[in-house]
Amino acid sequence: MYRVRQAFVDEGLAAALYRKKPTGRCYRKLDGAQEAQLITLACSTPPAGRTGWTLRLLADRLVELEVVDAISPECVRMTLKKTNSSRGSGSNG
């Protein structure tokens, strides 16, 4: 409610009643082929000395393999989150 009141005071009734359209656009960071490579990598054997893949290791490896120019661990997390596979579980059903 504070923002609505503040918009009314600062900009008038119309600004308080109608929301502004979003200015930014969220684009996909990975296409289908790149997502497939990420999933394949995440399901593969982790590097020597590691028990599993971390998001940072996956992001660094994707850059190293030249799948992408740059990618954040958060983007890796969001991409893996939307897959239906459960890598850590013994059964998927």
**Residue-level pLDDT, tens digit, the chain, 93 residues:** 788 888 889 888 888 888 776 666 666 778 889 999 999 999 999 999 999 999 999 999 999 999 999 999 998 998 888 876 655 555 444
- For the chain, the domain total comes to 1
Does any domain span residue 65? Answer: yes
CA angle centred on 34, ends 28 and 35, rounded to 5°: 75
Tokens describing residue 3: 């923002």
Does any domain span residue 58? Answer: yes
pLDDT of residue 29: 78
Q: What is the span of the domain harbouring residue 71? A: 32-81
pLDDT of residue 64: 95
> Rounded to two decimals, what is the model's pTM?
0.63
- Whole-number Å distance between alpha carbons of 74 and 72: 5
> By CB neighbour count within 10 A (0-12 exposed, 13-18 middle, 19+ buried), where does 73 fall?
middle
pLDDT of residue 93: 45
pLDDT of residue 52: 93
Residue with tokens 């609505």: 4
